Amino acid sequence: MELQTPIAERLADTQGEVRATALADLLQPAADPSPHLERVGACVSDPSESLRLAALPVLGRIGASAASDLAAALEALAARSPQALRLACAAALARVTRDPKRGLPVLVEALGSHDAQVRKAAAEKIAELREAAHAALPDLLRCTTDPDEEVRAAEVLTLGRIRAPYSDTVPRIIARLNDPVADVRYNSIIVLASHSAEARSALPALRACLDDPAEKVAKCAQDAMEMIGSPKP
């Protein structure tokens, strides 16, 4: 039986598919990715988007003992990278150091980009930080009225994924139930439903969505009302 090539050798391979198998192995519970920091960091800067996406979770697994070296590597990589990779590095930096101040400002700045795809990507990366991204709430709320429909849809979902306080977000989310784009209305309902009973104040607005012309929105509204439950008499 042929022995598998060591991870270090596969990470140095010129074939992206080979490096991807090594990254997958480093995500296994028993694996220690720390000795491979430099090679994993190189994968994050690879032209292949799939390889970059495979490398970032590996960076997140590197222990606290290597956090300072990893942070320096991510900052150096971000400084010489295109915007999309810079955002990925910022999110990884915040996760690895457990300090949102190390990466969140870059992501918040990108929310104001003239490029809608950059704004959308920034929202998606902020979502990865979960509750640690609450400092970005004012900027995220502002972007729920973005002129680009994909950005609005992403922003609403991000509010749900970071578990933004319901009292701070409910007016903006309910307002998006009247958005002209079905995907935005749909995402808004999903976020409201995620708050369960806390979202009972949204029931009248959700009830109006039962007649939505988009079938998936109407069905989602029905499911959301069941999840939230009826207000107490």
Place of tokens 């150091």: 97
> What is the arithmetic mean of pLDDT over 20-39?
89
Residues 6+ apart with CB under 8 A from 33: 26, 40, 58, 59, 61, 62
The pLDDT value recorded for residue 133 is 94
How far apart (Å, rounded) are the C-alpha atoms in residues 68 and 155?
31
**Cα-atom radius of gyration of the chain, to the nearest Å?**
21
SS3 163: coil
Q: Which CATH class is domain 165-233?
A: mainly alpha
Place of tokens 């050798």: 9
Residue extents of the structural domains in the chain: 165-233
> What is the arithmetic mean of pLDDT over 57-79?
71
Least-confidence region, from 90-99, 151-160, 172-181, 198-207: 90-99
Q: How confident is the model at residue 4 (pLDDT cuts 50, 70, 90)?
A: low
Residues 6+ apart with CB under 8 A from 4: none
CA angle, corner 21, sides to 16 and 26, nearest 5? 120
pLDDT at 45 over 80: no
pLDDT in tens, 192-229: 999 988 899 999 999 999 999 999 999 999 999 999 98
Which is higher by pLDDT, 71 or 172?
172
165: tokens are 């306080």
How far apart (Å, rounded) are the C-alpha atoms in residues 208 and 57?
41
